[in-house]
């Protein structure tokens, strides 16, 4: 990348003053696994052959063609999940047919398993993290078709809270591709499988179900297994111990895909209850002066020696705590978490605080509030969606940072910025979000929130907007989709005080668009959500910033680009 060395230098400066602090708790977790018995596997294969023959006879499916299928990512965070990441990989395909405990994954490592009975793991296990049972119960991680194809079979209605190896049947979807290969998507949540029927087509990225723990499973995860036209297991990952011509992924991720999946403030450390009871995260984003604050971080593929610098910042910008931590116990954790206890001062500054982490040259932020219980509420800080965002569904979840001293919230939504004729005016809300249903097409909505308690009513929040269908999207019938992703130069440039930033997406993906100053500090988050394929544009308002050079960065699951812009006042 053009600016990668600059960003690495800036991040180093950002973390230079932090000292190592041992966590008050944390570690690794037990990873989910699965096992299809020989009888179950044989039954599935026979059933799929029957379905395929039937579909070919009636002309509902074509004979296999010599077309190489390339897979996209088979998971998606749903719009009501606000973590940075949501998964890890517990097991790859086992390439060593010997057993037991004779293991070889595609990278010649041992991140797979076999059994005493002779089963060698034949798929890839994507587990949801953190708090897989909560994610399942809240339907937060969807399973997607990794390639276009035709549905061969759908199994649903089976028990989905399995905790150990058993003989239960799983909920699954089987998709046959144009080259004759078949993908298995297993362990889905009960009642979540696609409503499409056998023989119907699915597009790449189309919803198939929710990650669950049905069948022979020890916890929520997706078992993704691929068979070629002859029924042989295929590992889509290319590596030293899987010398295929090229990876079957459109963009193969690293063997160790290190990421900070979530950053949270909590009232206490998390509790991992006995399976299959959901975990108790103890999330808390609204505090009173003098409360105990728990700062927690949740990782996937954390490696020994990888350093994270943490910082808690007050509303006025001063540093409350600044520390760093790195994994030292073992070379690798597939899933890990750490937390620290920091009591807030009895006269803590009220307002919006920030818990920040710098990991692998990425900046992650989580906002929380501190309130005075003896005064009326402070102004509410709106969290999601980002100002000017496009709603991708017929509903939009509106979310704000909660206040510990608030008894209730009031929200107003209007199609006019003066709110003279609101379409929604709700009071007595006691949660931190509002699910706005039945959106009108091609409409801009304005919204704001305020809080009340026994001492009075707080000031209105800032006003934010979101729109429905104003960006070029995959649903525009006469629009040609971009062939590849790209970030355009902002216009105008130089600018004062606002400018437009446009970018292109060839397919639906999760997008982060952030702005940094010359010190490598994030000054604005313009996009942080799932976006449709097409061309998108967002306005960057720099009214509160000083003149100078800024960098804006677009990142998706398989693309990264940085450009500079100049603010002149």
> For 110-140, how does the pLDDT look when each residue is reduced to its tens digit (9 = 90+)?
999 999 988 999 999 999 999 999 999 999 9
Looking at the predicted structure, is the pLDDT value of residue 15 above 60?
no
Helix (H) or strand (E) holding 12: helix 4-14
Q: What is the rounded CA–CA span in Å between residue 87 and residue 183?
A: 20
Cα angle vertex 479, ends 476, 483, to 5°?
120
Looking at the predicted structure, is the pLDDT value of residue 428 above 70?
yes
- Nearest to 148, CA basis, from 117, 187, 121, 179: 179
- Nearest to 258, CA basis, from 323, 309, 332: 332
pLDDT band at 9; cut points 50, 70, 90 = very low
496: CB partners within 8 A, 6+ apart: 542, 567, 568, 569
**Burial profile 389-415: b = 16 or more Cβ within 10 angstroms, e = fewer:** bbbbeeebbbbbbbbbbbebbbbbbbe
Looking at the predicted structure, is the pLDDT value of residue 472 above 50?
no
Predicted pLDDT of residue 6: 46
Report whether 213 contacts 190 (CB < 8 A): no
Q: What is the DSSP letter of 64?
A: P
**Average pLDDT estimate for 453-464:** 96
**Average pLDDT estimate for 530-546:** 86
pLDDT tens per residue, range 319-363: 999 999 999 889 999 999 999 999 999 999 999 999 999 999 888
Q: For the chain, which domains are there?
A: 4-23+261-371 (2.60.40.1930), 38-234 (2.70.70.10), 384-468 (2.60.40.10), 486-567 (2.60.40.2550)
More confident residue, 556 or 158: 158
Average pLDDT, the chain: 91
pLDDT tens per residue, range 189-233: 999 999 999 999 999 999 999 999 999 999 999 999 999 999 999
pTM of the model as a whole: 0.84
**Average pLDDT estimate for 397-413:** 97
Predicted pLDDT of residue 66: 63
**Average pLDDT estimate for 254-269:** 97
Q: What is the rounded CA–CA span in Å between residue 153 and residue 174?
A: 5
- Nearest to 487, CA basis, from 544, 543, 526: 526
pLDDT band at 3; cut points 50, 70, 90 = very low
* 3-class secondary structure per residue, 277-291: CCCECCECCEEECCC
Helix (H) or strand (E) holding 485: none
Looking at the predicted structure, is the pLDDT value of residue 5 above 50?
no
Looking at the predicted structure, is the pLDDT value of residue 367 above 90?
yes
| Number of Cβ within a 10 Å radius of residue 518 | 12
290: CB partners within 8 A, 6+ apart: 343, 344, 345, 346, 348
- CA 316 to chain CA mean position, Å: 30
**Average pLDDT estimate for 281-288:** 98
């Amino acid at each position: 990348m053009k600016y990668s060395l600059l960003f690495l230098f800036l991040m180093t400066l950002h973390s230079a003053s932090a000292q190592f602090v041992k966590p008050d708790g944390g570690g690794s977790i037990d990873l989910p696994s699965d096992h299809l018995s020989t009888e179950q596997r044989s039954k599935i294969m026979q059933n799929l052959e029957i379905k395929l023959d039937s579909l070919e006879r009636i002309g509902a499916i074509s004979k296999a063609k010599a077309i190489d299928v390339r897979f996209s990512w088979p998971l998606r965070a749903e719009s009501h999940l606000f973590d940075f990441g949501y998964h890890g990989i517990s097991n790859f395909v086992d390439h060593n047919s010997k057993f037991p405990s004779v293991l070889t994954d595609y990278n010649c490592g041992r991140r797979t398993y076999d059994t005493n009975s002779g089963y060698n793991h034949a798929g890839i296990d994507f587990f949801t993290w953190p708090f897989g049972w909560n994610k399942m119960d809240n339907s937060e991680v969807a399973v997607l078709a990794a390639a276009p194809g035709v549905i061969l079979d759908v199994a649903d209605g089976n028990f989905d809270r399995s905790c150990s190896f058993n003989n239960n049947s799983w909920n699954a979807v089987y998709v046959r591709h144009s080259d004759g290969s078949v993908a298995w998507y297993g362990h889905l949540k009960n009642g979540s499988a696609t409503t499409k029927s056998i023989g119907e087509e699915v597009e790449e990225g189309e919803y198939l179900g929710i990650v669950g723990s049905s069948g022979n499973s020890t916890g929520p995860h997706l078992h993704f297994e691929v068979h070629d036209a002859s029924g042989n297991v295929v590992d889509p990952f290319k590596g030293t111990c899987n010398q295929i011509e090229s990876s079957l992924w459109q963009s193969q991720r690293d063997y160790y895909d290190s990421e900070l999946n979530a950053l949270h403030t909590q009232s206490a450390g998390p509790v991992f209850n006995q399976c299959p009871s959901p975990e108790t995260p103890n999330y808390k984003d609204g505090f009173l002066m003098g409360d105990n604050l728990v700062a927690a971080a949740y990782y996937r593929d954390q490696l020994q020696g990888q350093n994270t610098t943490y910082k808690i910042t007050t509303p006025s910008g001063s540093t409350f705590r600044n520390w760093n931590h790195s994994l030292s116990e073992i070379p690798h954790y597939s899933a890990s978490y750490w937390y620290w206890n920091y009591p807030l001062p009895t006269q803590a500054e009220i307002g919006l605080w920030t818990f920040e982490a710098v990991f692998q040259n990425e900046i992650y932020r989580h906002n929380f509030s501190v309130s005075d219980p003896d005064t009326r509420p402070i102004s509410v800080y709106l969290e999601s969606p980002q100002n000017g965002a496009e709603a991708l569904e017929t509903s939009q979840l509106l979310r704000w940072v909660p206040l510990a001293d608030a008894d209730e919230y009031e929200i107003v939504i209007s199609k006019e910025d003066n709110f003279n004729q609101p379409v929604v005016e709700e009071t007595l809300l006691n949660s931190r979000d509002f699910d706005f249903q039945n959106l009108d097409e091609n409409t801009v909505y304005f919204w704001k929130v305020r809080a009340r308690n026994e001492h009075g009513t707080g000031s209105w929040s800032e006003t934010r907007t979101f729109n429905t269908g104003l960006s070029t999207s995959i649903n525009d019938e006469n629009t040609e989709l971009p062939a590849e992703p790209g970030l355009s130069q902002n216009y105008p440039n130089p600018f004062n005080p606002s400018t437009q930033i446009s970018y292109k997406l060839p397919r639906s993906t999760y997008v982060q668009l952030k702005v940094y100053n010359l010190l490598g500090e994030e000054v604005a988050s313009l996009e942080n959500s799932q976006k449709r394929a097409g061309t998108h544009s967002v306005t960057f308002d720099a009214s509160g910033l000083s003149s100078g050079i800024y960098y804006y960065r677009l990142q998706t699951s398989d693309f990264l680009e940085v450009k500079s812009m100049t603010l002149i006042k």
